[in-house]
Amino acid sequence: MFLQKTEKYLFDDSYYVNSTFFYVRIYRWNPYLSLKPWFNIFPLKSKDVKQLMVLDLLFHIKNKYDSTITFRRSCREGICGSCSMNINGINSLACLKNFDPKFSQFLTIYPLPHMLILKDLICDLTNFYNQYRLIKPWLIREKKYDKNQIKKENLQSKIDRFALDGLYECILCACCSASCPSYWWNYDKYLGPAILLQTYKWLMDSRDLDSKNRLNFLNNTLRISKCHGITNCTKVCPKNLNPAQIINFLKYFSKI
Ligand code: SF4
Ligand code: SF4
Ligand code: FES
Q: Which amino acid is at 8?
A: K
Is CATH 3.10.20.30 the classification given to domain 2-123? yes
Q: Is 101 exposed, middle or buried (0-12, 13-18, 19+ CB in 10 A)?
A: buried
Point out the ligand 1 atom lying closest to the alpha carbon of residue 237: 3
CB atoms within 10 A of CB 60: 16
* pLDDT per position as a tens digit, 104-146: 899 999 999 999 999 999 999 999 999 999 999 999 987 665 6
Q: What is the pLDDT of residue 1?
A: 47
pLDDT at 9 over 60: no
Mean pLDDT across the chain, nearest whole number?
Answer: 90
Q: What's the whole-model pTM score?
A: 0.89
Q: Which residue's CA is minimally distant from atom 6 of ligand 2?
A: 230
Q: What amino acid occupies position 219?
A: N
Rounded distance, CA 93 to CA 77, Å?
A: 9
* Choices 1.10.600.10, 1.10.3720.10, 1.10.1060.10, 3.40.50.720: CATH for 126-254: 1.10.1060.10
Contact 69, 58 (CB under 8 A): yes
Query: What digits encode the pLDDT tens for the residues 228-247?
Result: 998 999 999 999 999 999 99
Pocket of ligand 1 (CB under 6 A): 170-176, 193-194, 197, 237, 239, 241, 243
DSSP strand pairing (106-110 vs 21-28): parallel
CA–CA separation, 42 and 22 (whole Å) = 8
Q: Greater confidence, 62 or 230? A: 62
Count of all residues that appear for the chain in the document: 256
Q: Is 193 in the pocket of ligand 3 (CB under 6 A)?
A: no
Ordered by start, the domain boundaries in the chain are: 2-123, 126-254
**pLDDT tens, residue by residue, 147-206:** 666 677 889 999 999 999 999 999 999 999 999 999 999 999 999 999 999 999 999 999
